[in-house]
Every structure is written in structure tokens, then in C-alpha cells.
């Protein structure tokens, strides 16, 4: 048998009985400390990222446990929790939620800080304002920065300026560089800059709202939504599975259920008679 125990802080330790909430663990396990602008209070992530990540780890652990059972004939007891998914587990494994932040602390003793959308060791690598919106720009190496200066901003002198000629220099002079780029981008609308960036190899992306996200050509091409018939709401749109198998996505067979829609079916599968089910309903137990 593969048994999964999923809690806020795990099955052992002094916090084993503490309730687990995504936003609390974000704070306690370090993520909130590095999220937000440097001159503002810590901020939470926009979605319940730790909840979601813990579920993904649990899913992977269950798959591994089933494979182990197939090979060894033995069951597995899995202990998965929000705190280790978000925090200390990622201080050890550098490719997870705290990523390079964890390695910087463990190896160099370097405490992390908040940088907003900017990268602590790469510049320019952050959100910049345009006349009517925002762009995320990630010129992460000298070649990309040269393209940004010469082909996009029409400012070739920027690429040879001693303050910005290397990434180390750009990081040291980040404030001046950000102001120069921001002043240039604010002269035109976002679509103008998207056209200038496209095809040059400089990483960039517009900050899209939710409507723009679902109207994105890639979202349409990849069929990220699916329409289903709901017995009460009629036709509704849902997110399609994010994974394809052999070029096809799994079909969404059923709409989201309303509260207690399948209670009777489940109770029958558990062996309850219609009379017993009615009795439980009459007593408001189900």
C-alpha cells in the first residue's frame, strides 16, 4: 500500500500539530522575505504557490511509491508537507522554490533580500514601464545587452559605456541603467517595443492581464481552455490539462460538481443501502 500523509509541517518535529496555510508557510519558510520591492514590506505570491507545489511533489512521490511497490512488493509511507516544499528542502536543493537564493546562503553565507522583479546578479533583468503598459526584459549577457542598446533602443553608445560594458558593471550601476532604459521605453507604447524586440533574441515579454493571457496566440494554438456542458450553468470554459500525451490532451469528461452532487453514488459504492442514505440525509449527516 502507498499511503500519502500531507500536512502543513510534516508528521514529526515541534510544529507537527500546527495548521498549514499557504500564506503562513510562505512567510515562515522564506519565500515572502524575498518577494516584493526592496523599499516595501514583504509580499505574498499572487497565487497559492506553495499549496500547488506541495500537491505536485505529492503526486510525484505517489508515482515513485507505486513504481517502488511494483519492483519490491513493499508499500511506502510518504510524508509530504508545505514547510519542506517551500523552505528547508529547497535550501538543500538548488533547483527548487528558493533556487539560487538557497545556494547563496548555504555556500557563501549571503542573506537574501527583496528585488521586486529585478535579478540580484543580472542587469537589466526586470520589468520596465512603457507609455501604456509594462515589459519584462532579460538581457542576461553582453551579446543580448548589445542588441538591446543598438537594435532596440537605438543607443549604441550604451553598449560601450564603461558603466555598462559588462554584467558586473551593469549590476554595480543598476540605478543609472534602469533610468536610461525606462526613459527610452516611456517614449513609445508597448506594442511599438514588442515589434522592436521580436526576433532579435533578447528575452522579453509583455505584462499581460488575464484577458490578454487567454487571448495570447500561443494560448489559442495550444488550446489551453476547454468548453464543457454544466447541468446547472450551461456551457462553461475551464482550463485544459497542461500536459499532452502523444500530441493530444486528455479529454475533460465531466464539469465541476456542485456540492453533494455525487454523494448518493459514492455512498452506494461504499455499500450503503438507499434506505440508509435517506436516513442520513433526513438527519442532515450528509
Strand-pairing partners, residue 228, are 236
Residue 132 known to be catalytic: no
User: Counting Cβ atoms within 10 Å, is residue 155 exposed (0-12), middle (13-18) or buried (19+)?
Assistant: middle
Catalytic residue of the set 22, 39, 51, 183 = 51
**DSSP state letters, the chain:** -EEEEEESS-SSSTTTTS---HHHHHHHTSTGGGSS-TTS-----SS-HHHHHHHHHHHHHHHHHHHHHHHHS--EEEEEEHHHHHTHHHHH-TTSTTHHHHHHHHHH-PPP---TTSBTTBSSEEEEE-SSSEEEEE--SHHHHHHIIIIISS-THHHH-TTTSSHHHHHHTHHHHHHHHHHHHTTS-HHHHHHHHTTSS--EEE---HHHHHT-HHHHHTT-EEEEEETTTEEEEEEPPS-EETTEEPP--SPPPPTTTTHHHHHHHTT--HHHHHHHHHTT--
Q: Hey, what's the cell of 159? A: 553598449
Nearby residues of 260 by Cβ (< 8 Å), 6 or more positions away: 286
d(CA 128, CA 116): 12
d(CA 258, CA 251): 20
Q: Which residues are catalytic?
A: 51
Amino acid at each position: 500500500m502507498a499511503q500519502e500523509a500531507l500536512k502543513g509541517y510534516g508528521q514529526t518535529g515541534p510544529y507537527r500539530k500546527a495548521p498549514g496555510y499557504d500564506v503562513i508557510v510562505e512567510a515562515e519558510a522564506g519565500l515572502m522575505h524575498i518577494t516584493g520591492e526592496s523599499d516595501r514590506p514583504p509580499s505574498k505570491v499572487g497565487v497559492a504557490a506553495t499549496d500547488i507545489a506541495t500537491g505536485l511533489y505529492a503526486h510525484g512521490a505517489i508515482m515513485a511509491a507505486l513504481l517502488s511497490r511494483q519492483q519490491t512488493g513493499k508499500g511506502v509511507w510518504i510524508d509530504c508537507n508545505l514547510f519542506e516544499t517551500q523552505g528547508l528542502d529547497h535550501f538543500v536543493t538548488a533547483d527548487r522554490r528558493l533556487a539560487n537564493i538557497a545556494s547563496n546562503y548555504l555556500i557563501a553565507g549571503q542573506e537574501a533580500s527583496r528585488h521586486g522583479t529585478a535579478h540580484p546578479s543580472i542587469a537589466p533583468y526586470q520589468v520596465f514601464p512603457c507609455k501604456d503598459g509594462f515589459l519584462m526584459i532579460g538581457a542576461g549577457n553582453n551579446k543580448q545587452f548589445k542588441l538591446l542598446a543598438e537594435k532596440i533602443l537605438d543607443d549604441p553608445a550604451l553598449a560601450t559605456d564603461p558603466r555598462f560594458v559588462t554584467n558586473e558593471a551593469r549590476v554595480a550601476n543598476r540605478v543609472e541603467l534602469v533610468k536610461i532604459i525606462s526613459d527610452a521605453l516611456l517614449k513609445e507604447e508597448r506594442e511599438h517595443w514588442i515589434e522592436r524586440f521580436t526576433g532579435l533574441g533578447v528575452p522579453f515579454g509583455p505584462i499581460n492581464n488575464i484577458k490578454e493571457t487567454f487571448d495570447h496566440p500561443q494560448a489559442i494554438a495550444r488550446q489551453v481552455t476547454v468548453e464543457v456542458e454544466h447541468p446547472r450553468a450551461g456551457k462553461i470554459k475551464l482550463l485544459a490539462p497542461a500536459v499532452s500525451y502523444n500530441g493530444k490532451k486528455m479529454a475533460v469528461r465531466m464539469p465541476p460538481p456542485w456540492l453533494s452532487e455525487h454523494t448518493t453514488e459514492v455512498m452506494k459504492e461504499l455499500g450503503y443501502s438507499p434506505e440508509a442514505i435517506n436516513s442520513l440525509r433526513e438527519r442532515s449527516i450528509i
